[in-house]
Amino acid sequence: MACGKSTSTGKAVYEAQKAIDDKIIADYLKANPTLNATKIDTSGVYYIVIQPGSGNALFTRSTRVTIADTGRLLTTGQLFRQTNEFHPSFTLSEIILGWQLGIPKIKKGGIVRLLIPSRYAYGPNPQPLVGVEFGLKNGLPANAILDFNIQLYDITN
């Protein structure tokens, strides 16, 4: 019985945070109607294609992408990540779910903006080292809603 209570409590906490995140993103989009954001299925992740890119792109979980990105907290605008001249490569299965859903919306050379609810980023898990170099004293907080601009430099299958 204790396990059932724990699970229902966990689900209630998840659903409560989901409602909070979705309202914050909806309010942000309502205040910024020119963004023309599109919701990805029922995920709560929104994307704005800034530049579509070109070529054929087939994305799988093993696709390797080389990107440049800038990440901010949606609620404060605080910068927490910026790659500048360094262009990291990742396999799609290694990155946060919000990126896994959003990056395939563009092709090589494309730029996409992603608004990512916490459940598709790091959820209730704070990231104490992320963003410290940009002034986030304690790193990314738990349940952070993220705002990324991502440029896709290369795709390898």
CATH topology of domain 2-156: Chitinase A; domain 3 (3.10.50)
Six token digits for residue 95: 């990155």
pLDDT higher than 70, residue 2: no
Q: Could you state, in order of their start, the residue ranges of all structural domains in the chain?
A: 2-156
Tell me the pTM: 0.93
Task: State mean pLDDT over 68-89.
Answer: 95
pLDDT higher than 80, residue 136: yes
58 touches 103 (CB < 8 A): no
Six token digits for residue 10: 């966990």
The secondary structure element, H or E, covering residue 7 is helix 2-31
103 touches 67 (CB < 8 A): yes
Six token digits for residue 85: 């001249």
